Chains A and B, each alone.
Chain A
Amino acid sequence: MRALLVPALALAVTLAACGRVWNDPYPAADRGKNILYSAFVERPKHLDPVQSYAEDESRFIQQVYEPPLQYAYLARPYRLVPLTATEVPHPQYLDRDRRPVPATSPAVAYSVYTIHIRPGILYQPHPAFARDASGALRYDHLSRERIAGLASPYALPHSGTRELVSDDYIYEIKRLAHPRLYSPIFGLMSQYIVGLSDLAARLRAVDERMKASGQGEGWIDLRKYPLAGVERVDAHTFRITLKGRYPQFVYWLAMPFFAPVPWEVDKFFQQPGMAAKNFTLDWWPVGTGPYMLTENNPNARMVLERNPNFRGEPYPSTGEPGDRREGLLADAGKTMPFIDKVIFSREKESIPYWNKFLQGYYDSSGVSSDNFDQAVRISVEGEAALTPQMRRLGIQLRTSVATSILYIGFNWLDPVVGGAMGGAAAERARKLRQAISIAVDMEEYLQIFANGRGIVAQGPIPPGIFGYRGGAAGVDPVTHVWRDGAAHRRALAEAKRLLAEAGYPDGRDARTGEPLVLYLDTVSRGPGDKARLDWWRKQFAKLSIQLEVRETDWNRFQEKIRKGSEQIFILGWDADYPDPENFLFLLDGAQSRALHNGENAANYSNPEYDALFERMRNMPDSPERQKLIDRMVDIARNDAPWIWGYFPKDYVLYHGWLSNVKPNDMARNNIKYLRVDPAQRAAYQRRWNRPMLWPLALLVALIAAAVVPAVIGYRRRERMAALPPAGK
């Protein structure tokens, strides 16, 4: 044993003396390279731009695909700017006979968006584009055997590229109606894009015919099937015709649903044998963006590498006031991307994720509740600052209010807390909701359960979105008062008064004397949720209302919401786009979840609100629109269909060697803006991760301490006589 231990220890000491780190999870060959290291928790489900609708997926595919528009990285409020388009398109309005009419005309029957694409944009290198000397595609008739032998599509020896053309955008819009792809926005878009429903029906028939004729899942060449509402003008221009007005459509043009997909790539991946190797567009995206996905192992690692054909894009020259001071404009005008490669490692557990960030093996991290106290201190003024430990490591902190809301809804169809019954009963329920809205102390909730990471909402629109009002003008007068420059929750006595007026003095029904029992439906998150649920019970108990919590799983919870059988529930909403319509529609009667399968989970309905919503949704941002929004928010505050809850705050921690970090809830194509200093990172990694060898020595000593007496004991026993010597 000694013969083995001595060289092992000598090797260990030598390696340590050389300054090598032992715990680096990345290959030594990558050390010091211009690579961004990041992590992901959930494996992406879909990378096909027509299907992908989750944030976990966006962080990959939005580096690869380029829709016509994007969000300005630094500007706030969020603003659309061109990406592959030459400009942000403005709709032309037409009447029923397709004659131009003013935007405000009641005769508007169609909106037409004409999109001009920049010429000269090239796709990433990909075998789907490879052509032989005769100009024919090389790899559109691969044998099953050849496909079976490939480790990845990039293993094919030849690759090619071609210019981005308007047909690629048209092809992707047709894919929204593809019978095998299930685009989540097909239902919405078929209401607007002229002819999309008809195309879907035609493609379904084609698909069925193919299956009946034994062609199964063969390629459907979408170029053969025209779509009435999408028209090719020329190689770099196409036109989308929508039914009626839908000003928010322009935001969809910044999402991957409207990114280009070349027909060659679709054909390539539809070859028999490709799906069995997971070679699909849902697994291997192909785009024109700054990066290309070269490794897809969603259980371990995703790798993006710089697209050699990327045209380059200048770093923004303008931002918010203060961006220059914070160094966010230091790279203004320089050509992006700055990073060569991005390695995303899967970390399903928060402890290894956090520890690897502290060791310098991830460049940035969020802050979980478990790590919050180690990373952040909240000052008396409520400002978040880093702890001394984080500052010593050179870690930086950025916070931003998310374009999301977490709210507590009252089911409008419920006979006790709802408002659909009308008359005096509705008025009683309104006062009951108002009383509860005052009593539920969201400020306390934020401090206890979210480490103060959020802003108590006073209405449905978060900061950063047009229509939001801060300060005294933004206070909900039902629940708060503005005093000494801050919003203060109204006294509990006012809630009790409202409760009595609602017919429940001291939490009992004045007519029957029965205690008021309300029901909160929530998704069970395990035993750790008990404190949170107890807190909810306590809030209602302030008004002597008994709260019964009905915990269930996510499926059953959603089912209750769909059926409208819940009473009070907790839900959240992440914005699709930064327009007030995307929040105010959550209270639109036409969007009732139980009645119309929409997104209004509370089933709230107020005719005046609904009428104003219809006007507001079609208006550009203007003082008039603000006026309508103010009125709508006032109506909703008075009706109190939600306890407004809070707008979460995103906390991003990043190391000093990473620059140009600015949280942006809308722009997911943010990696091209980032810059790393690999030399600085490597130096810190070495400093922070020197191996400690004494535990190894201790382990060897302990083993020896256990083995040596055992060996001695064994030998002694072996030498021992069966009986004591005679005479003793």
Chain B
Amino acid sequence: MLAYVIRRVLYAIPILIGVNLITFVLFFVVNTPDDMARMQLGAKRVTQAAIDHWKAEHGYDRPLLWNPAASGLGKATDTIFFRKSLRLFAFDFGASEDGRDIAAEIRTRMWPSLALAIPVFLVGLAVNVTFALTMAFFRATYLDFWGVVLCVTMMSISTLFYIIGGQYLVAKLWHLVPISGYEGGLDAIKFLILPVAIGVVSGIGSGSRWYRTLFLEEMGKDYVRTARAKGLSEAVVLFRHVLKNAMIPILTGVVVVIPLLFMGSLLMESFFGIPGLGSYTIDAIQAQDFAVVRAMVFIGSVLYILGLLLTDLSYTLVDPRVRLE
């Protein structure tokens, strides 16, 4: 298994280089180094000399991907892409274009993001699995039918509607929680109740339907019939046998997102004023801050690769037949 893990880690390197290259090209198709300098220096009274100076100081005075003026290897290395990308692989993110340390920002903002994402993930998973199991238990009854109708209805509604509707009803009309804001420590709870509830509710439709399908598929298999024939109660059949055997497809979708919880939620953080990494990324895109965008995309890629690896590893835990060779 160790060899498998090492091989997967080595595979990750070209993937990360590719992701970095694509991010770089996409960013600089839209923004030139001059645009970035103007964004940082302001729109008023900026001279070309100031722009050139800013570019030189920030290392944007070189060619983007290929330097024909350089010699030998320098043609590839004396470029913005190479110089800005190399340090990322040592997880040295440097400073944002306005001079602030990116690692310090990430360390500060990851906690609010996790404070929102982890409860949404855990509670959401529990609610979805429970609801799906209930529907599966009552399959082909009116409870199952209306459960599916409810799920389809809920998954047809935009997350934005849940957010605005939730803020209007719970915070504005009923005055039960603050509309937006954030505090550290236990004070965070009152700010997180509503976004967590909305995150969970908005995910019930799609999540529960997906899990119900998985459970129903399992329940049609021979081992379930055998278990029932042995006289096991339906609860035991569902929880001890069906749930366990449905774990592989569940884990495929679930484990891969665990590391990405760190990246935060763009929409939720924006509307609820939660100072996490999601809003950090959005701000960086709006401010044309390539250093931050590049760092966040890189971290996202690393976490996604990590998630996929964890998913593979988790298969061996739930299914003894799986061997990673």
How long is the Cα–Cα vector from A192 to B177 in the complex, in angstroms?
56
CB 8 Å contact bits of A628-664 with B (1 = contact, 0 = none): 0000000000000000000000000000000000000
Interface residues of A in 546-588 (CB under 8 A from B): 553, 555, 558-559, 576
Q: Which residue of the partner chain, among A297, A692, A717, contacts B176 with CB atoms under 8 Å?
A: A692
**Stretch of A22-30, A99-107, A385-393, A461-469 lying at the B interface:** A22-30
**Residues of chain A with a CB closer than 8 A to B40's CB:** 45, 182
- Contact between A25 and B180, CB atoms less than 8 A apart: yes
- Contact between B275 and A599, CB atoms less than 8 A apart: no
- Nearest to B191 among chain A residues (CB) is A25
Known contacts: A299-B279, A352-B167. The answer to whether A54 contacts B42 by CB under 8 A is: yes
How long is the Cα–Cα vector from A148 to B105 in the complex, in angstroms?
14
Interface residues of A in 85-139 (CB under 8 A from B): none
Known contacts: A348-B273, A713-B143. The answer to whether A187 contacts B42 by CB under 8 A is: no
- Contact between B101 and A692, CB atoms less than 8 A apart: no
Secondary structure at chain A's binding surface: helix, strand, loop or mixed? loop
- Contact between A27 and B175, CB atoms less than 8 A apart: no
Known contacts: A352-B167, A692-B174, A710-B143. The answer to whether A299 contacts B179 by CB under 8 A is: no
Known contacts: A184-B41, A276-B104, A710-B138. The answer to whether A22 contacts B175 by CB under 8 A is: yes
- Contact between A185 and B101, CB atoms less than 8 A apart: no
Q: Tell me the smallest distance from the CB of B114 to a CB of chain A, in Å.
A: 15
Contact of A700 with B by CB under 8 A: no
**Residues of chain A with a CB closer than 8 A to B100's CB:** 278, 280, 282-283
What count of chain B residues pass the 8 Å CB interface test? Answer: 71
**Residues of chain B with a CB closer than 8 A to A351's CB:** 164, 167, 271
Interface residues of A in 334-348 (CB under 8 A from B): 345-348
**Residues of chain B with a CB closer than 8 A to A187's CB:** 45-47, 49-50
How long is the Cα–Cα vector from A365 to B234 in the complex, in angstroms?
59
- Nearest to A709 among chain B residues (CB) is B143
- Contact between A184 and B46, CB atoms less than 8 A apart: yes
**Stretch of B60-68, B182-190, B250-258 lying at the A interface:** B182-190
**Stretch of B28-36, B215-223, B239-247 lying at the A interface:** B28-36
- Contact between A184 and B42, CB atoms less than 8 A apart: yes
- Contact between A300 and B273, CB atoms less than 8 A apart: yes
Contact of B172 with A by CB under 8 A: yes
Contact of B137 with A by CB under 8 A: yes
Contact of B171 with A by CB under 8 A: yes
Q: Tell me the smallest distance from the CB of B87 to a CB of chain A, in Å.
A: 14
- Nearest to A48 among chain B residues (CB) is B99
How long is the Cα–Cα vector from A713 to B50 in the complex, in angstroms?
75
**Residues of chain B with a CB closer than 8 A to A282's CB:** 98-100
Secondary structure at chain B's binding surface: helix, strand, loop or mixed? helix
- Nearest to A45 among chain B residues (CB) is B98
Interface residues of A in 347-363 (CB under 8 A from B): 347-349, 351-352, 355-356, 358-359, 361
**Residues of chain A with a CB closer than 8 A to B103's CB:** 276
How long is the Cα–Cα vector from A658 to B45 in the complex, in angstroms?
37
Q: Which residue of the partner chain, among B38, B42, B179, B275, contacts A297 with CB atoms under 8 Å?
A: B275
Contact of A247 with B by CB under 8 A: no
CB 8 Å contact bits of A686-697 with B (1 = contact, 0 = none): 000111100110
Contact of A627 with B by CB under 8 A: no
CB 8 Å contact bits of B9-46 with A (1 = contact, 0 = none): 00000000000000000000011100100101111111
Q: Which residue of the partner chain, among A188, A275, A710, contacts B101 with CB atoms under 8 Å?
A: A275
- Contact between A347 and B95, CB atoms less than 8 A apart: no
Contact of A180 with B by CB under 8 A: yes
Q: Which residue of the partner chain, among B44, B46, B105, B190, contacts A22 with CB atoms under 8 Å?
A: B190
- Contact between B38 and A558, CB atoms less than 8 A apart: yes
Interface centre among A23, A24, A179, A717 (most CB of B within 10 A): A23
- Contact between B177 and A23, CB atoms less than 8 A apart: yes
Known contacts: A22-B190, A23-B175. The answer to whether A53 contacts B99 by CB under 8 A is: no
How long is the Cα–Cα vector from A185 to B48 in the complex, in angstroms?
12
**Residues of chain A with a CB closer than 8 A to B169's CB:** 695
How long is the Cα–Cα vector from A361 to B280 in the complex, in angstroms?
25
- Contact between A22 and B41, CB atoms less than 8 A apart: no
Contact of B53 with A by CB under 8 A: yes
- Contact between B280 and A299, CB atoms less than 8 A apart: yes
Q: Tell me the smallest distance from the CB of A62 to a CB of chain B, in Å.
A: 16
**Residues of chain A with a CB closer than 8 A to B262's CB:** none
- Contact between B174 and A691, CB atoms less than 8 A apart: yes
How long is the Cα–Cα vector from A356 to B57 in the complex, in angstroms?
43
How long is the Cα–Cα vector from A559 to B30 in the complex, in angstroms?
12
Interface residues of A in 672-728 (CB under 8 A from B): 689-692, 695-696, 709-710, 713-714, 717-718
Contact of A488 with B by CB under 8 A: no
How long is the Cα–Cα vector from A275 to B171 in the complex, in angstroms?
39
- Contact between A555 and B31, CB atoms less than 8 A apart: yes
**Residues of chain B with a CB closer than 8 A to A692's CB:** 173-176
How long is the Cα–Cα vector from A555 to B181 in the complex, in angstroms?
33
- Contact between B101 and A278, CB atoms less than 8 A apart: yes
How long is the Cα–Cα vector from A187 to B46 in the complex, in angstroms?
7
Contact of B54 with A by CB under 8 A: yes
Q: Tell me the smallest distance from the CB of B83 to a CB of chain A, in Å.
A: 15
- Contact between A691 and B57, CB atoms less than 8 A apart: no
Known contacts: A23-B175, A23-B176, A355-B172. The answer to whether A185 contacts B233 by CB under 8 A is: no
Interface residues of A in 1-59 (CB under 8 A from B): 21-25, 27, 43, 45-46, 53-54
Q: Besides the contacts A186-B47, A348-B273, A689-B175, what 5 more A-B pairs have beta carbons closer than 8 Å?
A: A280-B100, A300-B112, A345-B181, A555-B31, A558-B35
The contact sample of 11 A-B pairs, CB cut-off 8 A, is A22-B177, A23-B171, A53-B44, A182-B40, A182-B41, A186-B47, A276-B104, A359-B179, A713-B138, A714-B235, A718-B233
In the A-B complex, list the 6 residue pairs whose CB atoms are closest, starting with the nearest.
Answer: A299-B275, A187-B47, A300-B275, A25-B181, A25-B178, A352-B180
Which B residues are within 8 Å of any A CB, using their own CB? 30-32, 35, 38, 40-50, 53-54, 57, 95, 98-101, 103-105, 108-109, 112, 134, 137-138, 141, 143, 164, 167-183, 187, 190-191, 233-235, 270-276, 279-280, 283, 287-288
